[in-house]
A and B are shown apart, each in its own frame.
Chain A
Amino acid sequence: MNDQYLWDKSGPSDPDIEKLERVMGTLRFRGTAPIFPSAIEFPAPRQSAFFPRPWLRFGLAAAFAITLVAAGLVLLWWKADVQVGWHVLQIDGAPRIQDRVLNATGKLGVGQVIETDGASRAEIEITEIGRIQIDPETRLRVLKAPSGRSRLALDRGTIHARIWALPGIFTVDTPSARAVDLGCAYTLHVDGNGDGLIRTTMGWVGFQLADREAFIPAGAVCRTHVKTGPGIPYFEDAPETFRSALQVFDSPGRSQEDRERALQTILSQSRRQDALSLWHLLSRVDASERPQVYDCFAALVPPPPGVTREGIQTLDREMLDRWWDALDLGNIWLWRHWERSWSEGEQSSK
């Protein structure tokens, strides 16, 4: 068989494949686009004469989004009941589902484990949610999710997720944090100790352990530690000195002196785009250190109306959220909505 011809029709032609193409080509689609109904239109919010105030438009959009998410969750919950499992494709080697070698394709259901060895790779497709590629040396479990969401647990190894579902539908638990999809594409790695690293390539992702949270937009990475949860995210193109200082600041067990020195480096080396890290730093430093972080952050991103030094000093969540939105890296409402609905889902499933 001529593999290259089968792949892209280049190279010497394969007579068998040519015959199949000739015969089966008689079934080829030959239709043209029909006239579609005009009922579905989504006018831009700015064209509205009825809701000139941005906050009112936002409120209505939020209410609409809540309804949409609720309807989506009901639909997903219903689908989960009839779902027999996610479709899994073997890419390389011999991935195993529940200790059984995956033979080309298979299904992965709730409670089941898929594992790859050093030479194996696989791919999971979650209908209408997204696609997960599993790298070698990875152990991944499917968990029962509240409110019909999709939930995996990455015990170790690396996955690449590409998600096209609504924000907050797809989550991955790791030993040190929960990754919540708020965007589109990311790579998540967990090492043998349970520490992790997430790299977002499109959209943004929320990382959470208890009340510690981190938001990682496209182009940024974030470490997570078993003992302390999500660290401080940073853009990968940040200067080496800045990244090293963040790593020192984040590492548990460092001396107070090391920590203070690292903080000074972080503040002095920050660029405009490093406001991402400074916003997270506001809630990670001691109260005595917070004013200097505030000043540095405010110099890069002026506090929006309603955000005060006093409020930030006491970590007023609404003010912090408003300042996050000023960064224009993702709407915090999506995250808060996820938190509420996740919490309600867990309550109702108990």
Chain B
Amino acid sequence: MADERKLDHDSSLVRAARDGDRVAFGQLYDRYAPTVHGILLARVPVDEVDDLVHDVFLRALPRLHTLRDPEGFGAWLSAIARNCANDYHRHNRNELMQEIRDDVPEETASKRERFDADVTTILSAIRSLPEAYRETLLLRLVEGMTGPEIAARTGLTAGSVRVNLYRGMQQLRQKLAEPRTSDTISKEIAAEGWPDGNPGGATK
């Protein structure tokens, strides 16, 4: 019921934003930026994510009038975020590989004080999972969203989110239990590509 009310309110914001109300679009930004952030974090280098969040909304704004169903805003915006990540990789494949190598603890220690070895290891492990699991797990663990919230924000069905969370967590536990470091994970990714064959795994 709470989700339905939220959707109703989101629809009003989308309609207002479509009519040129920038405050309404700003409110949509505040509501959906964490979702976009989580989706991008599953696919692009950490340092690029914040800038790309902004790019996604700038890309969405002039196309808002093409969205027929305001209730589909979350799913629509999520698709734009995934495409934005795809575009990033079309132009930056080499940089991505370098970024992944840079993610190993030894090299990040001096450059990225924000991340400790645990973050890097877990993020690398999540990024090596199938695409659907990556995104859902990051929205749950990083952005702190519940399963129902993820479903409401991304337009995925609750069933899909539940499946992604449970299977993704199972696989993540297995990966983290394996006796290997983030260095070996990064090398595997660099050598074999992402599990679905795409750098960053963002192509749908």
**Beta-carbon contact of A89 and B160 below 8 Å:** yes
Shortest C-beta distance, B141 to chain A (Å), equals 4
A162→B115 CA distance, assembly (Å): 40
Chain A residues near B163: list those with CB within 8 A: 89-91
- Given the known inter-chain contacts A24-B119, A127-B79, please indicate yes or no for A33 contacting B29, CB distance below 8 A: yes
Stretch at the interface among A1-9, A281-289, A341-349: A1-9
Number of A-B contacts (CB under 8 A): 163
A37→B58 CA distance, assembly (Å): 9
Stretch at the interface among B68-76, B99-107, B184-192: B68-76
Contact pick for A89, options B132, B143, B144, CB 8 Å = B132
A231→B123 CA distance, assembly (Å): 54
Shortest C-beta distance, A259 to chain B (Å), equals 39
Chain B residues near A131: list those with CB within 8 A: 75, 155-157
Shortest C-beta distance, B100 to chain A (Å), equals 16
The residue among B25, B50, B141 with the most chain A CB atoms within 10 A of its own CB is B141
8 sample A-B contacts, Cβ–Cβ < 8 Å, listed by A number: A7-B162, A17-B169, A21-B141, A27-B123, A29-B143, A33-B25, A68-B66, A90-B163
Contacts A24-B141, A84-B197, A167-B68 known; list 11 others, CB within 8 Å: A1-B170, A26-B115, A27-B115, A27-B119, A28-B34, A35-B22, A38-B22, A42-B19, A44-B19, A91-B163, A162-B155
- Given the known inter-chain contacts A24-B142, A128-B76, A167-B68, please indicate yes or no for A33 contacting B26, CB distance below 8 A: yes
A42→B38 CA distance, assembly (Å): 30
A38→B196 CA distance, assembly (Å): 40
**Beta-carbon contact of B66 and A29 below 8 Å:** no
Chain A contacts to B: CB under 8 angstroms: 1, 3, 6-9, 16-17, 20-21, 23-29, 31-44, 68, 72, 83-84, 86-87, 89-91, 104-105, 107, 123, 125, 127-128, 131, 133, 162, 164, 166-167, 183-184, 202-203
Chain A residues near B62: list those with CB within 8 A: 39-40
Chain A residues near B167: list those with CB within 8 A: 104
- Given the known inter-chain contacts A21-B144, A29-B33, please indicate yes or no for A6 contacting B68, CB distance below 8 A: no
**Beta-carbon contact of B72 and A105 below 8 Å:** no
Residue of B nearest to A8 (CB): B146
**Beta-carbon contact of B131 and A42 below 8 Å:** no
Chain A residues near B97: list those with CB within 8 A: none
Residue of A nearest to B203 (CB): A84
Chain B residues near A7: list those with CB within 8 A: 146-147, 162, 165
**Beta-carbon contact of B144 and A27 below 8 Å:** no
Chain A CB within 8 A of B18 CB? yes
Chain A residues near B198: list those with CB within 8 A: 84
Residue of B nearest to A87 (CB): B204
- Given the known inter-chain contacts A27-B142, A131-B75, please indicate yes or no for A43 contacting B20, CB distance below 8 A: yes
**Beta-carbon contact of A37 and B61 below 8 Å:** yes
Chain A residues near B20: list those with CB within 8 A: 38, 40-43
Shortest C-beta distance, A234 to chain B (Å), equals 24
Chain A CB within 8 A of B109 CB? no
Chain B residues near A183: list those with CB within 8 A: 68
Shortest C-beta distance, A83 to chain B (Å), equals 8
Shortest C-beta distance, B144 to chain A (Å), equals 6
A34→B166 CA distance, assembly (Å): 35
Which residues 1-58 of B have a CB within 8 angstroms of A?
18-20, 22, 25-27, 29-30, 33-34, 37-38, 41, 46, 50, 53-54, 57-58
Shortest C-beta distance, B160 to chain A (Å), equals 6
List 5 A-B pairs, minimum CB-CB distance, nearest first.
A41-B20, A29-B37, A164-B72, A33-B29, A33-B26
Contact pick for A184, options B50, B69, B79, B197, CB 8 Å = B69
A128→B72 CA distance, assembly (Å): 11
A189→B68 CA distance, assembly (Å): 25
Contact pick for B57, options A36, A89, A128, CB 8 Å = A36
Which residues 144-185 of B have a CB within 8 angstroms of A?
144, 146-148, 155-157, 159-160, 162-167, 169-170, 172-173
Chain A CB within 8 A of B83 CB? yes
Shortest C-beta distance, B130 to chain A (Å), equals 5
Residue of B nearest to A125 (CB): B204
Shortest C-beta distance, B75 to chain A (Å), equals 6
Chain B residues near A167: list those with CB within 8 A: 68
**Beta-carbon contact of A8 and B141 below 8 Å:** no
Shortest C-beta distance, A13 to chain B (Å), equals 13
Contact pick for A42, options B18, B118, B162, B203, CB 8 Å = B18
- Given the known inter-chain contacts A68-B66, A72-B66, please indicate yes or no for A33 contacting B30, CB distance below 8 A: yes
Residue of A nearest to B130 (CB): A105
**Beta-carbon contact of B142 and A42 below 8 Å:** no
